[in-house]
Chain A
């Protein structure tokens, strides 16, 4: 009501202004800043009516829209919070998975180390076995080579002995030896009997 009082007062003051008429007969206001009184009154009433209509009819819609907007914003906030929570959970999972990966890596490294150790051990045993076999084979080869050399040496000695026998015997067969061999043969054959003859 105070506001209406002020408006009324101002309107009365404005209405108290005087109008003038220019040379062409047009009505002119005395103030360059304010319209005339009637226009002020009707304009104000129209504005009040419009504002009241707006308050009456558009206000609920606006309030409803604002509520919907608030709800939408709240929903977006909730969604953001949920997304944040999900992100936090996912981050936790990732961190856990990272921890699991570390554990798996450690486990794999340990298994690989064990396997490598086993392979190294097996390889060492196999190499030791091969070395043993090679040593045995080398020893057998040495024995065989020694036997072969001995056989060759023996054969060479026999060959030389035979050649020496041939030379010695042939060289020692003089006339007297021939005669002695013949006489020995005659004596030996003569001493034997028919039953003892060799064939």
Chain B
């Protein structure tokens, strides 16, 4: 059960994006930013450091996303950082993505790959995951070189792991 405060922020962001009629785009951009936020220590430290003034942290967000994301996405992230909730940013965004997917009767499929997927591969992968899980999925692809190769997909509690990293770990265990 998620934190009510996180749910509140997620619901607020969701309503804003839906009111702006940019929900799909904003949701996708927020998702990507959340993954970058998680994987980059420098970015996470800069945006959660209470010693840095809120205006300065918001300026960092504007600089990073300016011209690369929609105005709504930039403003929403800047708002979360400005009110000092940077540490909960990934959870808020994940909750927003869940909420957006539920609104479209979709299940979020968190997919990690070593190299970017083509549009065709994403469509075929979404179809394959839908076939495997029996649910329509909202595919969220994250490029994560640490998996070395292959794909790992997480839909709810189901994990389908086809990464090279996992195979190597299994081989190490056998050795």
Contacts and interface: CB of A to CB of B under 8 A. Distances in A.
The yes or no verdict on A and B being binding partners is yes
Interface of A: 158, 161-162, 165-166, 169-170, 173, 175, 177-178, 181-190, 192-194, 196-199
Given A158-B172, A173-B114, A194-B133, 16 more contacts: A162-B175, A166-B168, A173-B148, A181-B164, A182-B121, A182-B125, A185-B151, A186-B128, A186-B151, A188-B162, A189-B162, A190-B128, A193-B131, A193-B132, A196-B132, A197-B133
Contacts of B161: 198
Contacts, number: 87
B162 A162 contact: no
Across the A-B interface, the 8 shortest Cβ-Cβ residue pairs: A190-B128, A194-B134, A185-B162, A189-B128, A185-B151, A181-B150, A158-B175, A197-B132
Contact of A192 (B117, B132, B168): B132
A186 B159 contact: no
B41 interface: no
Contact of A189 (B114, B132, B171, B172): B132
A190 B117 CA distance: 16
Contacts of B153: 189
Interface residues of B, number: 30
Contacts of A186: 121, 124-125, 128, 151
Interface string B149-175: 111010001111110100010011001
B61 interface: no
Nearest to B165: A169
B150 to A, nearest CB: 4
B158 A169 contact: no
Contacts of A192: 131-132
Contacts of A162: 168, 171-172, 175
B129 A189 contact: yes
A169 B131 CA distance: 31
Nearest to A154: B175
B80 to A, nearest CB: 32
